[in-house]
Amino acid sequence: MLSFSCCIISFATAISTVAQTRTTLQFPSRTFATNGGDDGNFLNEWFSSELNALGERPMVELTTEISEEYRFTLLPSFSKPIAVRVEIKKDGTGTATSEIGDWAGGYAPKSGVTRKTRALSRDEILEIHAVVADFWKISAVATGDPGGEDGTEWIMEGNDGQRYHAAYRWEGSVLTPIGRYFLADVAQLRDEAMKASASVARDR
């Protein structure tokens, strides 16, 4: 009974957050729309409110000095939200920035973000390209039931200068290898990667 009540409170809080704060959308309209008729607006506004609070900007359009960009976002209901962004510049250099919010991902965003940026080596950039190579083929949402009311949301985005793509899965699923790599290797947040992996459901 207690677990069920917590699920209701968490989901209701997320709805309240979206309803009270109309933030700048991080994703194009209907990015997370489903064949069942859901337009995906709730997820767009919810995910956007978290990313805005982390200090992130939309990735649909690249800044003038950036040639490609990738971002993995982890939103646990009862743990801190994390965003890991890779920026590759036109001169071939790149950086990785991790941002961890001081609040639970299923509740209203608050102030307080731990941010770290590091330079990426050429070999690391090549490895990132290899890891995200098949990401473009992953559908934006899962077929059938797209998720649940509680748990962890995994969101991956990419913009290679020619196309933008986003994919979302509840409890990881097909995004697990990419998300785990971005947490453990790109952002060097190995403890967070282990915690995220522990809650992953099997691929569907």
Place of tokens 């102030």: 111
pTM: 0.84
SS3 8: helix
Q: Which of 10-14, 93-97, 99-103 is predicted most confidently?
A: 93-97
- Is 198 a residue whose pLDDT tops 60? yes
pLDDT range class, residue 14, cuts 50, 70, 90: low
pLDDT of amino acid 193 = 85
CB burial class (10 A; 0-12, 13-18, 19+) of residue 172? buried
Contact between 149 and 120 under an 8 Å Cβ cutoff? The reply is no
Pairing of strands 82-89, 94-101: antiparallel
**Domain segments of the chain as ranges:** 2-198
Sheet holding 94-101, edge to edge: 113-120, 94-101, 82-89, 66-76, 152-159, 164-170
Average pLDDT, the chain: 85
170 Rama sector, left if φ>0, alpha if ψ -120 to 50, beta otherwise: beta
Pairing of strands 82-89, 113-120: unpaired
Distances (CA, A) of 179 to 12, 65, 138, 186: 26, 26, 13, 10
